[in-house]
């Protein structure tokens, strides 16, 4: 039964034996004192009896859907575990899994405490939100625990910690800053020990003691136990009225979410990953902290896992994970030499030759669509003085995620006496690397007087931007610090919103169709209930205009009421990849705030100054992240127009070593080289064609060229084809070459042997692309050009 326990009762429990992760007793208490009172009244036998009585009383059993105040009995949970179709509704299954993962997170924290007694302090344990979509129910789900780990069991190290929850964060940061060498990171073997203890706790089928409290009660009792301080701190921002106190053996913690009361209900758990994190993502800490370096330092260990209600769900997950691991963009990127990362520049990918080819093709597509839809591309600075970010509001609300840059002092020597001590020119100017382009575009708009004839003003920007992501959160191309965003901003009148949104949705549809994302989802996020700027009339009109634009798109869309940003409603777009995973990519956002902050005005037809509306839009979002999504969506088999390896020319020689064979092989090699040169439009080919000493054959070929060949060669200048040439092989070894080309993800193999040389044709083998078979060189060029023109 859920019992309300007095603060005094809890204090007595802590004073008997404090169930903390790192410091087992408050200052001044004897650590050898025995635990004489548990958090629920009565001994464990009485608690078991009470729980059994509660379970048998069906009328008094609250529903699992009653919210965070409900306490779930073992009988209820066992029935939840019996079937995937919980009560026949998807929502019940979602509630079930959130409870499973929340309980698992607490048990994981208890396992950390038990594995490293006196050396660990759990600062945070939570669940990660899954998508809960039928096609990929568990994607993104699971639980994690973040904790500090000491090298030695050193209670003296924490003697000066302030257990007042309001001062705890700063006190802890000071401790870390003054003792950086005493904290360590887990290795894989240590992580496995924690999971072994986790499974052992689950097998023990132990009771978890649970009680409900107000924040004031929990805040008061946390002063008696250091390990509870960070948990209380991390929940303050949620302004929850109800807190739960959990105790398992000698470990205790709190949460705003309820859990199961028995460890035996957690089965089928899978470790996911071991990582690091930093304090400021765990505790609510002011940006003016006296320890700013510690805020971004990777000092915490983070262990993540996932649990399942039954073996069937676990098997489904494992099968999915196996498929996902094979097509992980980091695996594909390494195998195909697309990109690399380096520790000297974390979160800043190096695009290699083949990766750059893909990026440039995507940028060409975007620029072509920009031209079609009336955008003008601009290039804005990387570095802006903080005064700009203060005007935009980013310095106040986003500075922790920005890279700040100080002016470098310069030495100035006296021109008259070089022996004098040099003076130093100092500057207090602080700048920030841009994390987005909108403030710079506002400067462009305000750089001259604007009239209604200038609107809509559509600006696009593909220059790199920087965001100060935590090192421990960085991952491949999906989470980076430096990236390119296909950023666009439309400055328009209020009456133009609908038509501009329709155009942007049309452009998204066209680009996503080319990228093979025909099945994408639209959602409208509307005005927040409280914190928003602008009038209700403005919001209602803007939302209605967005709804009309969405209706005209011909696609179904959903509404997320109250989920809009405070400065305007927005449309989010999610694509679905080949494995059914959803990724948010495009965003179309109305903004009523920035025009006000920058004082933007234009003169209408009546010569009256009006404020424009800004429409933020990104089609791909981050180019880097879209490249990651596409590589997994295509399983590394790039469509021809986007492929960094479009074709491989392979000459196949006669293996006989006679004089006639050598002559034949020379002709094969010459024809293969000609095919290669013409496909890549080699400068050497052009030099030979214009060389008067190259012989009659060249003159004869030029005079006999057909109009089709001439037009085809003109078309060829529009593109660069990524074609390689093999050193050649005999027919006996052709199979190996074919296999290697397929593994390297070439779209086509162009085979040239004695027959092809004699007939002046090429034999085409398609790995992933439309079938071409045997054609002459002009026909091959036309086939390649048509695929490029049609984005095939």
Task: Kindly report, residue by residue over 86-134, the tens digit of the pLDDT.
Answer: 345 778 888 888 999 999 999 999 999 999 988 888 878 888 877 777 6
pLDDT category, 721, cuts 50, 70, 90? very high
Phi, psi dihedrals of residue 305, rounded to the nearest 5°? -150, -175
The full DSSP string for 683-733 is HHHHHHHH-GGG-HHHHHHHHT--HHHHHHHHHHTT----EEE---EEGGG
Q: What is the pLDDT of residues 122-150, one digit of tens each?
A: 878 888 877 777 666 777 789 999 888 88
**C-beta of residue 123 within 8 angstroms of C-beta of residue 151:** no
**C-beta of residue 569 within 8 angstroms of C-beta of residue 527:** yes
If DSSP states are collapsed to H, E and C, what string results for 498-546?
Answer: HHHHHHHHHHHHHHHHHCCCCCEEEEEECCCCCCCCCCHHHHHHHHHHH
How far apart CA 518 and CA 505 sit, in angstroms, is: 13
For the chain, percent of residues with pLDDT exceeding 70: 75
In sequence order, the β-bridge partners of residue 12 are none
Measuring CA to CA, which residue among 112, 188, 124 is closest to residue 150?
A: 112
Residues 6+ away with beta carbon under 8 Å from 687: none
Entry field: residues in the chain: 792
Residues 6+ away with beta carbon under 8 Å from 645: 336, 354, 638, 722, 724, 744, 745, 746, 747
Q: What is the pLDDT of residue 167?
A: 64
How far apart CA 347 and CA 479 sit, in angstroms, is: 7
Torsion sign over Cα 670, 673, 679, 682: negative
For the chain, percent of residues with pLDDT exceeding 90: 46
Give the DSSP H or E segment for 764. Answer: strand 761-766
Phi, psi dihedrals of residue 58, rounded to the nearest 5°? -60, -40
Instruction: State mean pLDDT over 572-579.
Output: 90
How far apart CA 380 and CA 373 sit, in angstroms, is: 21
Mean pLDDT estimate for the chain: 79
Residues 6+ away with beta carbon under 8 Å from 104: 143, 266, 269, 305, 306, 307
Asked whether residue 289 carries a pLDDT value surpassing 80, the answer given is no
Asked whether residue 306 carries a pLDDT value surpassing 80, the answer given is yes
Domain with CATH 3.30.980.10 in the chain: 3-326
pLDDT category, 42, cuts 50, 70, 90? very low
**Residues with catalytic function:** 438, 467, 485, 487, 489, 570, 616
How far apart CA 380 and CA 444 sit, in angstroms, is: 9
What six digits make up the tokens of 286? 């002011």
Please state which of the ranges 327-341, 377-391, 449-463, 701-715 shows the lowest mean pLDDT: 701-715
Q: What is the pLDDT of residue 585?
A: 92
485 or 92: which leads in pLDDT: 485
Domain with CATH 3.30.930.10 in the chain: 329-380+437-633
- In this structure, which CATH number among 3.40.190.10, 3.30.980.10, 3.40.50.300, 3.90.1260.10 belongs to the domain 3-326? 3.30.980.10
Asked whether residue 20 carries a pLDDT value surpassing 70, the answer given is no
Domain with CATH 3.40.50.800 in the chain: 647-789
Phi, psi dihedrals of residue 203, rounded to the nearest 5°? -70, -25
How far apart CA 219 and CA 373 sit, in angstroms, is: 57
Instruction: State mean pLDDT over 356-380.
Output: 97
pLDDT category, 53, cuts 50, 70, 90? very low
Q: What is the pLDDT of residue 451?
A: 96
pLDDT category, 286, cuts 50, 70, 90? low
CB burial of 129-151 (b: ≥16 within 10 Å; e: otherwise) equals: ebbbbeebbbbebbbbbbbbbbe
Asked whether residue 473 carries a pLDDT value surpassing 90, the answer given is no
Burial of 746 (0-12, 13-18, 19+ CB in 10 A): buried
Q: What is the pLDDT of residue 685?
A: 52
pLDDT category, 173, cuts 50, 70, 90? confident
What six digits make up the tokens of 425? 């020119």
Number of H helices, E strands in the chain: 26, 32
The full DSSP string for 356-415 is HHHHHHHHHHHHHHHHHTT-EEE---SEEEHHHHHHHTHHHHTGGGS-EEEPPPEEE--S
How far apart CA 85 and CA 89 sit, in angstroms, is: 6
Asked whether residue 626 carries a pLDDT value surpassing 60, the answer given is yes
Q: What is the pLDDT of residue 164?
A: 60
**C-beta of residue 273 within 8 angstroms of C-beta of residue 472:** no
Measuring CA to CA, which residue among 42, 321, 97, 58 is closest to residue 209?
A: 42
Q: What is the pLDDT of residue 781?
A: 95
Q: What is the pLDDT of residues 353-364, one digit of tens each?
A: 999 999 999 999
Measuring CA to CA, which residue among 627, 651, 633 is closest to residue 731?
A: 651
**C-beta of residue 258 within 8 angstroms of C-beta of residue 190:** no
**C-beta of residue 230 within 8 angstroms of C-beta of residue 277:** no
Q: What is the pLDDT of residue 51?
A: 32
Q: What is the pLDDT of residue 393?
A: 87
**C-beta of residue 571 within 8 angstroms of C-beta of residue 524:** yes
Asked whether residue 576 carries a pLDDT value surpassing 50, the answer given is yes
Asked whether residue 488 carries a pLDDT value surpassing 90, the answer given is yes
β-pairing, 761-766 vs 647-653, is: unpaired
Asked whether residue 500 carries a pLDDT value surpassing 90, the answer given is yes
363 or 321: which leads in pLDDT: 363
- Which alpha helices (H) appear in 36-89, and where do they start and end? 44-56, 74-81
Q: What is the pLDDT of residue 472?
A: 74
Q: What is the pLDDT of residue 229?
A: 55
Residues 6+ away with beta carbon under 8 Å from 133: 139, 580, 582
Asked whether residue 598 carries a pLDDT value surpassing 60, the answer given is yes
Measuring CA to CA, which residue among 747, 432, 494, 462 is closest to residue 620?
A: 462
Which of 64-68, 602-606, 703-707 is the most confident on average? Answer: 602-606
Phi, psi dihedrals of residue 376, rounded to the nearest 5°? -110, 125
Measuring CA to CA, which residue among 388, 454, 426, 382 is closest to residue 603?
A: 454
Instruction: State mean pLDDT over 699-721.
Output: 78
Asked whether residue 79 carries a pLDDT value surpassing 50, the answer given is no
3-state secondary structure of 206: coil
Q: What is the pLDDT of residue 728?
A: 83
Q: What is the pLDDT of residue 353?
A: 97
Q: What is the pLDDT of residues 225-244, one digit of tens each?
A: 655 655 555 555 445 667 88
How far apart CA 10 and CA 229 sit, in angstroms, is: 15
217 or 315: which leads in pLDDT: 315
Q: What is the pLDDT of residue 668?
A: 92
Asked whether residue 694 carries a pLDDT value surpassing 60, the answer given is no
CA distances from 659 to 361, 370, 654, 728, 755 (A): 46, 59, 11, 19, 18
pLDDT category, 55, cuts 50, 70, 90? very low
The full DSSP string for 149-177 is EBSS--GGGGTT---SHHHHHHHHHHHHH
94 or 193: which leads in pLDDT: 193
How far apart CA 414 and CA 410 sit, in angstroms, is: 13
Q: Which CATH number does 329-380+437-633 carry?
A: 3.30.930.10
In sequence order, the β-bridge partners of residue 308 are 267
In the chain, what are the helix, strand and coil shares in percent, each to the nearest 5?
45, 20, 35
Any idea which residue has 């942007």 for tokens?
504
Beta-carbon neighbour count of residue 492 at 10 Å?
20
Give the chain's radius of gyration (CA, Å). Answer: 33
User: CATH topology for 647-789?
Assistant: Rossmann fold (3.40.50)
Q: What is the pLDDT of residue 82?
A: 38
* pTM, full prediction: 0.76
Q: What is the pLDDT of residue 320?
A: 86
How far apart CA 679 and CA 55 sit, in angstroms, is: 77
Q: What is the pLDDT of residue 169?
A: 67
3-state secondary structure of 252: strand
Of the chain, the end-to-end C-alpha distance in Å amounts to 64
CA 627, distance to chain mean position in Å, is 12
Asked whether residue 25 carries a pLDDT value surpassing 70, the answer given is no
CA distances from 238 to 102, 233, 242, 451 (A): 17, 10, 11, 46
pLDDT category, 683, cuts 50, 70, 90? low
Q: What is the pLDDT of residues 440-472, one digit of tens each?
A: 999 999 999 999 999 999 999 999 999 998 877
Helices 497-514 and 536-552 sit at what angle, rounded to 10 degrees? 40
183 or 401: which leads in pLDDT: 401
Asked whether residue 65 carries a pLDDT value surpassing 50, the answer given is no
Q: What is the pLDDT of residues 259-273, one digit of tens each?
A: 999 999 998 888 887
Asked whether residue 417 carries a pLDDT value surpassing 70, the answer given is no
What six digits make up the tokens of 486? 């296909």
Instruction: State mean pLDDT over 463-492.
Output: 92
pLDDT category, 72, cuts 50, 70, 90? very low
Residues 6+ away with beta carbon under 8 Å from 439: 384, 388, 389, 391, 392, 394, 594, 598
Helices 228-236 and 165-178 sit at what angle, rounded to 10 degrees? 120
């Amino acid at each position: 039964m859920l019992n309300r326990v007095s603060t005094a009762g809890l204090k007595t429990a802590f004073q008997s034996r404090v169930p903390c992760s790192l410091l087992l007793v408050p200052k001044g208490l004897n650590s050898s004192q025995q635990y004489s009172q548990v958090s629920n009244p009565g001994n464990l036998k009485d608690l078991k009896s009470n729980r059994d009585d509660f379970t048998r009383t069906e009328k008094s059993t609250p529903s699992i859907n009653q919210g965070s105040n409900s306490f779930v009995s073992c009988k209820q949970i066992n029935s939840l575990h019996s079937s995937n179709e919980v009560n026949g509704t998807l929502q019940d299954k979602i509630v079930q899994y959130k409870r499973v993962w929340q309980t698992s997170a607490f048990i994981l924290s208890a396992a950390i405490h038990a594995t490293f007694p006196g050396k660990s302090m759990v600062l945070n344990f939570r669940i990660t939100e899954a998508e809960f979509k039928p096609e990929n129910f568990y994607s993104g789900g699971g639980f994690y625990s973040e904790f500090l780990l000491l090298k030695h069991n050193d209670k003296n190290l924490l003697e000066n910690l302030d257990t007042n929850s309001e001062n705890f964060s700063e006190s802890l940061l000071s401790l870390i800053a003054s003792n950086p060498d005493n904290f360590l990171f887990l290795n894989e073997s240590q992580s496995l020990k924690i999971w072994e203890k986790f499974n052992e706790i689950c097998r023990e089928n132990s009771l978890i003691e649970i009680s409900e409290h107000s924040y004031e009660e929990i805040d008061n009792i946390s002063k008696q136990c250091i390990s509870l301080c960070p948990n209380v701190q991390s929940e303050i921002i949620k302004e929850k009225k109800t807190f739960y106190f959990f105790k398992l053996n000698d470990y205790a913690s709190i949460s705003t979410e309820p859990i199961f009361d028995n460890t035996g209900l957690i089965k089928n758990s899978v470790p996911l990953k071991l990582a690091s994190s930093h304090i400021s993502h765990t505790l609510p800490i002011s940006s003016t902290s006296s320890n700013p370096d510690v805020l971004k330092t990777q000092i915490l260990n983070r262990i993540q896992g996932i649990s399942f209600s039954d073996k069937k769900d676990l098997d489904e997950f494992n099968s999915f994970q196996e498929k996902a691991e094979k097509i992980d963009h980091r695996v594909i990127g390494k195998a195909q030499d697309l990109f690399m990362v380096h520790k000297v520049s974390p979160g800043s990918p190096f695009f290699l030759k083949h990766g750059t080819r893909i990026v440039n093709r995507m940028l060409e597509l975007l620029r072509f669509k920009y031209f079609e839809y009336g955008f003008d591309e601009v290039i804005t600075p990387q570095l802006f003085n903080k005064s700009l970010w203060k005007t935009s509001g980013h310095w106040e609300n986003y500075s922790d995620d920005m890279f700040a840059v100080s002016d470098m002092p310069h030495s100035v020597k006296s021109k008259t006496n070089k022996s004098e001590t040099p003076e130093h020119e100092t500057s207090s100017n602080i700048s920030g690397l841009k994390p987005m382009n909108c403030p710079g575009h506002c400067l462009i708009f305000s750089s001259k007087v604007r009239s209604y004839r200038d609107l809509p003003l559509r600006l696009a920007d593909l220059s790199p931007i920087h965001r100060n992501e935590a090192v421990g959160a960085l991952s491949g191309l999906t989470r980076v610090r430096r990236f390119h965003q296909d950023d666009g901003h439309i400055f328009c009148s209020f009456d133009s919103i609908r038509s501009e949104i329709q155009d942007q949705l049309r452009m998204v549809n066209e680009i996503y169709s080319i990228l093979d994302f025909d099945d994408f989802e639209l959602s409208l996020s509307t005005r927040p209930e409280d914190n928003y700027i602008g009038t209700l009339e403005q919001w209602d009109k803007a939302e209605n205009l967005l709804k009309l634009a969405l209706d005209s798109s011909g696609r179904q869309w959903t509404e997320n009421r109250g989920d809009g940003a405070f400065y305007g409603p927005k449309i989010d777009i999610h694509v679905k990849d080949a494995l059914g995973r959803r990724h948010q990519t495009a965003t179309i956002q109305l903004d009523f705030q920035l025009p006000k902050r920058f004082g933007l005005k234009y003169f209408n037809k009546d010569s009256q100054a009006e404020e424009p509306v800004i429409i933020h839009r990104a089609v791909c979002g981050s180019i880097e992240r879209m490249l990651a999504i596409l590589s997994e969506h295509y399983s590394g088999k790039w469509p021809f127009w986007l492929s960094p390896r479009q074709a491989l020319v392979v000459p196949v020689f006669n293996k006989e070593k006679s004089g006639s064979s050598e002559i034949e092989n020379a002709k094969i090699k010459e024809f293969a080289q000609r095919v290669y040169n013409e496909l890549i439009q080699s400068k050497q080919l052009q030099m030979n064609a214009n060389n008067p000493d190259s012989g009659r054959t060249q003159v004869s070929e030029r005079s006999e060229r057909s109009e089709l060949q001439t037009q085809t060669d003109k078309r060829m200048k529009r593109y660069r084809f990524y074609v390689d040439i093999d050193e050649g092989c005999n027919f006996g070894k052709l199979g190996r070459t074919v296999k290697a080309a397929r593994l390297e993800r070439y779209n086509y193999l162009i085979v040239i042997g004695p027959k092809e040389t004699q007939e002046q044709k090429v034999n085409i083998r398609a790995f992933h692309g439309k079938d071409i078979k045997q054609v002459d060189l002009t026909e091959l060029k036309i086939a390649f050009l048509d695929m490029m023109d049609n984005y095939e």
